[in-house]
Chain A
């Protein structure tokens, strides 16, 4: 026998069964990206035309490396959520939708791993 009230079943969960979780994560990472994105623009602009030694030295700076890692984490979460919305809007077949959503997660993870590995190697590597 189900003792849960109908309200308990409905609370926090819309049709996607995750409540406002997607919306809220999109906002939190969006605010972070506002700051970190401007940092990225500054970083790239300041390194235009720089040689490898200069780029390596700058990216190995602890503050810059940590800001880059923060951008990578916040940015890949944000872009995965955004692309999820686009897929859910335009891909209607259930099978194709599941495949696209999976590829979306794999792509975001691949970008996150590649960037994180590169930044860490620049900081810790010989």
Chain B
């Protein structure tokens, strides 16, 4: 081992504090990261909503052109993904509202709410698109 200095500027020859990849992923940590990622996805996805609204306001021809994009497989995937991102960000938001009241900070509750948020968002997304697919004759 080299000398270990405590002085500023000298980098001691010992492990630095570990970054994310060192830790075993815990469910609350994964949900926290997903909350930020879904938030960012919804941010840029808002441009799609704007595009669709402008298309509807422009006229039938341009609306049909934009609709045809959303009817492709990548388009459908984006819509299902956007639904999940929205619902997951919502369930994550509800978790934050509960925490804001000062409740739900014990580890067991945190784990249960974390698993709950991913379960609710996935199930709700599946149910919504199953209903759309069956009731309206196709995605």
- Report A's interface with B, CB cutoff 8 A: 27, 30-31, 33-34, 37-38, 40-41, 44-45, 48-49, 51-53, 55-56, 59, 68, 75-76, 79, 82-83, 86, 111, 114-115, 117-119, 121-122, 125
User: In the complex, are the beta carbons of A52 and B50 less than 8 A apart?
Assistant: no
Give the secondary structure class of A's interface.
helix
Task: Give the number of A-B contacts (CB < 8 Å).
Answer: 81
Number of residues on chain B facing chain A (CB within 8 A): 34
B138 within 8 A of partner (CB): yes
- Report B's interface with A, CB cutoff 8 A: 36, 39-40, 42-43, 46-47, 49-50, 53-54, 56-57, 59-60, 63-64, 79, 83, 86-87, 90, 93-94, 96-97, 100, 128, 131-132, 136-139
User: In the complex, are the beta carbons of B54 and A118 less than 8 A apart?
Assistant: yes
Cβ contacts A to B, 26 pairs, < 8 Å: A27-B100, A31-B97, A34-B90, A37-B86, A37-B90, A40-B49, A44-B79, A45-B132, A48-B132, A49-B136, A49-B138, A52-B64, A55-B56, A79-B43, A79-B46, A83-B39, A83-B40, A111-B47, A114-B53, A115-B49, A115-B53, A117-B54, A118-B50, A118-B54, A118-B56, A122-B56
